[in-house]
Amino acid sequence: MTLLPAGSRWLVIAGVCTFGTLGCGSAADEQATRIADVEATVRAAADTVSTPREGRQGVALSRAALSRAAGGADGRAYAVQTIANPGVIIGEITGGTPTDTSITPTHDLAVCRPFSQSLVPSRDGGVGNAVVWLQGVATGRRDDAPRRARLTLDGCRLEPRVQRVALTGTLLVNGRDAMLSRLRFTVEGEAAPRATVLLSDVGQIVPTDAASTSPGLVQVHDDLHPWVRAYLVVAPHPFVAVTTADGQFRFDGVPPGRYTLHVWHERLGTQETKVRVERGVQTRITVAY
């Protein structure tokens, strides 16, 4: 049995209704009513809630480019192949300063208290949480990214903010907040969300592989709490990374060739540069915002 706060009382939801399945009796009816009430609150507060600012043009450009990154310039799909004496790219994204955004929730205030979130983690001038990937890679090593990743809703925020997810990998969505949340997984240019996850139970874990069916930058947002947001980078090959706070990233086993290196950050937009990789050579590159 699951207890959820509904105003000043507790709403009791049992059985399959815990997962937000409608049409399963009075508990489902109450849950639907609760969702409708929250949606009305969200609409009423739309002009007052503080949410992070995005470089929207940059988001669109990077999503399209990442979706095209799963093959060579000649249109060949990426294939696993042993490369003799490959190269290495050691990179740094610079120009960052620590940037916090203040979030002021408008409802579910017993759980969602005001907080600050670091949207530009930065150490020593680096840009953290930047997504970096190579476009034009047709062959190379097998992707060793974990087949399972976790996304946690805790304290009315999603963590991690940005993470890499293997193609066709499973995402475990963990809800730790005593409130209803409806997470949608969307990619710009796609007509419908890849997945929708309804969280209604403290400690609930919902697995989904629908978000990682094809390469792309997937935005996760809670349409009942518009300040809740995260990004999944569905990697088409191993040469995709999320930078650490000092802006560092590294690609091992890169086939020799000429590529386009793309960088995206939710606040800073996109950058791209050409890079040449030679056999057995470490190529060092710095991209500055």
Mean pLDDT for 190-210 is 95
- Please choose, from the candidates 181, 18, 183, the residue with its C-alpha nearest in 3D space to the C-alpha of residue 112: 181
Mean pLDDT for 42-68 is 51
Whether the predicted pLDDT of 78 surpasses 80:
yes
Mean pLDDT for 39-66 is 50
Mean pLDDT for 228-239 is 94
Total count of residues recorded for the chain: 289
Q: Which pLDDT score, from 0 to 100, does residue 43 have? A: 54
Mean pLDDT for 237-261 is 96
Mean pLDDT for 171-200 is 95
Whether the predicted pLDDT of 75 surpasses 70:
no
The answer to whether 78 touches 71, Cβ cutoff 8 Å, is: yes
Q: Which pLDDT score, from 0 to 100, does residue 98 have? A: 86
3-state secondary structure string, 142-210?
Answer: CCCCCCEEEEEECCCCEECCEEEEECCCEEEEEECCCCCEEEEEECCCCCCCCEEEEECCCCEEEEECH
Give the C-alpha separation, 96 to 253, whole Å: 28
Characterize 92-110 residue by residue with b for buried, 16 or more Cβ atoms within 10 angstroms of its Cβ, and e for exposed: bbebbeeeebebebbbbee
Residue holding tokens 């050691």?
90
Whether the predicted pLDDT of 61 surpasses 80:
no
- Give the contacts of 3 (CB within 8 A, at least 6 positions apart): 10, 11, 12, 178
Give the C-alpha separation, 24 to 181, whole Å: 19
- Please choose, from the candidates 103, 109, 104, the residue with its C-alpha nearest in 3D space to the C-alpha of residue 179: 109
pTM equals 0.80
87: helix, strand or coil: strand
- Please choose, from the candidates 55, 54, 60, 62, the residue with its C-alpha nearest in 3D space to the C-alpha of residue 271: 62
The share of the chain scoring above pLDDT 90, in percent, equals 63
Q: Which pLDDT score, from 0 to 100, does residue 258 have? A: 95
Whether the predicted pLDDT of 30 surpasses 70:
no
Beta bridge partners of 277: 257
Q: Which pLDDT score, from 0 to 100, does residue 188 have? A: 86
Residue 99: pLDDT band with limits 50, 70, 90 = confident
117: helix, strand or coil: strand
Two structure tokens written together for 96 = 């960052």
What does the domain layout of the chain look like in residue ranges? Answer: 2-44, 56-288
Give the C-alpha separation, 22 to 15, whole Å: 12
The CATH code of domain 56-288 reads 2.60.40.420
Whether the predicted pLDDT of 13 surpasses 70:
no
Q: Which pLDDT score, from 0 to 100, does residue 146 have? A: 86
Whether the predicted pLDDT of 103 surpasses 50:
yes
Q: Which pLDDT score, from 0 to 100, does residue 32 have? A: 60
Q: Look over the chain and give the mean of its residue pLDDT values, rounded to a whole number.
A: 82
Residue 26: pLDDT band with limits 50, 70, 90 = low
Q: Which pLDDT score, from 0 to 100, does residue 240 have? A: 95
Mean pLDDT for 201-219 is 94
Pairing of strands 162-166, 225-235: parallel
